[in-house]
């Protein structure tokens, strides 16, 4: 029986990606319209968007075994680049994260995300020696794949991108078979630390939830006590460590939660972004009609704060469309992971879905003031050649997983 066209091509993922890239080009045009030389930004984004589509198409046709075969090599190459950029890279806005070649900035950390997901998926692939994330040694080895680029990117003073490398640990490990109890043991101390910082009531409610959960897990009494003590220590240690910080460091942390504490400094962009999005209302002010956008109240808003331009000029409807399109991409990647018989490709798709989700939550969250400003782009929309191409490569691999979903190797 002849295969249908839709059996070979994930048209939903392809069309959604084209829409997102197109919206990004329009958004960048508006955000740079009042900026001298701004046309260069949207033209570059358009050019590399087209190049990215060609790369996506090519990647979707490759045999899946090539991705696993070269995963460790690509990871090693990415690590070398991260080291070289520390030594010879150019510093921009305090981050030493860039190579400049022929007038184009290349950010190795963006491509290191792909290489790390591929290497981690290959390590956890059952076909590569039955690795088990529930075994301590295998778990530690798998974490090392992530911690190396995390540390190297953190040394670049790029906190936002370094945290991205931690975003896919839990989803990929869980998809690889990580025990729900181990997942619980990893996540609850982090949750309790955050709740403790927010207030004592939140912390004690969270502690009760931990106790009830431990009862239902029905593990040994010693293991349950150990997990409880770890959570208790995580909660109480937050305030102790906070008290040891210098006053200006404490103020910087508090500004993350309340930008009005430093309205002309670290809180400025968030305040102006919230004004822009709020003033857009339901339908927005119209293309090129946003006052916050066109009067350039937010510096370089065509990068990390591009979402506020969309919210101001296209309103709640425009912003909702963007979020829905992202959710379609994430759901399609998860669906392709579920459908794929190739465990390596399945784990890879989950890793990429996690990256998209993390970027979406943090970027949109920081523009509306509910997440700290850590400087990560909005996938496929924010200006940036490295970011754009890296996310389009992820989509291409996701389309490859769909095309070869019935192939085991």
pLDDT digits (tens, 9 = 90+) for 239-279: 788 777 677 666 666 777 777 777 777 678 788 888 888 88
pLDDT (tens digit, 9 = 90+) per residue, 375-399?
889 999 999 899 999 999 999 999 9
Q: How far apart are CA 7 and CA 292, in angstroms?
A: 46
Q: Among 20-29, 93-102, 170-179, 311-320, whose mean pLDDT is lowest?
A: 93-102
DSSP 246: -
Q: What is the pLDDT of residue 6?
A: 66
pLDDT (tens digit, 9 = 90+) per residue, 192-242?
988 888 788 988 999 999 999 998 888 888 999 999 999 999 888 887 887
Residue 356 contacts residue 329 (beta carbons within 8 Å): yes
Rounded to whole angstroms, what are the CA distances from 216 to 57, 186, 227, 232? 48, 17, 14, 19
Tell which wins on pLDDT, 96 or 108: 108
Other CB atoms within 10 A of residue 76 CB? 12
3-class DSSP state for residue 97? Answer: strand
Other CB atoms within 10 A of residue 88 CB? 9
Quick one: tokens of 215?
């009862």
Residues in CB range of 14: below 8 A, 6 or more apart = 56, 395, 399
Residue 143 contacts residue 170 (beta carbons within 8 Å): no
pLDDT (tens digit, 9 = 90+) per residue, 3-61?
566 668 889 999 999 999 999 999 999 888 876 555 688 999 999 999 999 999 999 99
pLDDT (tens digit, 9 = 90+) per residue, 99-130?
877 667 788 999 999 999 999 999 998 665 56
Q: How far apart are CA 235 and CA 254, in angstroms?
A: 18
Residue 1 has pLDDT above 50, yes or no: no
Quick one: tokens of 406?
């019935």
Percent of the chain with pLDDT over 70: 92
Per-state percent for the chain, helix, strand, coil, to nearest 5: 70, 5, 25
Average pLDDT for 281-287: 89
> Does the predicted model carry a pTM greater than 0.85?
yes
Q: How far apart are CA 95 and CA 73, in angstroms?
A: 26
Q: What is the pLDDT of residue 294?
A: 75
């Amino acid at each position: 029986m002849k295969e249908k066209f839709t059996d070979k091509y994930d048209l939903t993922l392809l069309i959604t990606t084209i829409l997102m890239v197109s919206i990004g080009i329009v958004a960048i045009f508006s955000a740079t319209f009042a900026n001298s030389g701004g046309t260069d930004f949207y033209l570059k984004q358009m050019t590399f968007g087209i190049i990215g589509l060609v790369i996506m198409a090519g990647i979707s046709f490759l045999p899946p075994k090539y991705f696993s075969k070269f995963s460790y090599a690509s990871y090693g190459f990415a690590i070398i680049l991260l080291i070289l950029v520390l030594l010879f890279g150019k510093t921009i806005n305090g981050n030493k994260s860039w190579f400049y070649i022929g007038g184009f900035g290349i950010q190795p950390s963006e491509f290191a995300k792909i290489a790390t997901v591929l290497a981690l998926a290959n390590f956890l692939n059952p076909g590569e020696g039955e690795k088990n994330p529930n075994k301590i040694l295998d778990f530690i080895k798998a974490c090392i794949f992530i911690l190396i680029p995390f540390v190297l990117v953190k040394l670049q003073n790029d906190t936002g991108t370094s945290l991205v490398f931690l975003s896919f640990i839990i989803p990929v490990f869980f998809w690889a078979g990580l025990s729900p109890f181990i997942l619980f043991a990893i996540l609850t101390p982090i949750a309790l630390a955050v709740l403790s910082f927010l207030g004592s009531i939140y912390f004690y409610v969270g502690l009760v939830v931990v106790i009830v959960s431990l009862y239902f897990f029905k593990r040994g009494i010693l293991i349950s006590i150990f997990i409880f003590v770890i959570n208790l220590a995580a909660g109480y240690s937050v305030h102790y460590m906070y008290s040891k910080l210098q006053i200006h460091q404490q103020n910087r942390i508090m500004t993350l939660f309340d930008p009005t504490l430093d309205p002309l400094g670290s809180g400025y962009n968030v305040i102006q972004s919230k004004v822009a999005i709020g003033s857009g209302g339901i339908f927005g002010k119209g293309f090129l009609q946003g006052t916050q956008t066109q009067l350039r109240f937010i510096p370089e808003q065509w990068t990390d704060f591009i979402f506020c331009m969309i919210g101001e000029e296209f309103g709640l409807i425009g912003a909702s469309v963007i979020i829905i399109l992202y959710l379609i991409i994430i759901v399609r990647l998860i669906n392709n992971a579920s459908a794929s018989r190739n465990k390596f490709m399945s784990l890879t798709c989950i890793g990429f879905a996690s990256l998209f989700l993390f970027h979406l939550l943090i970027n949109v969250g920081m523009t509306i003031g509910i997440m700290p400003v850590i400087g990560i782009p909005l996938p496929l929309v924010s200006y940036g050649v490295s970011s754009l191409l890296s996310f389009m490569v992820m989509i291409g691999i996701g389309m490859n997983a769909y095309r070869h979903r019935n192939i085991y190797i």
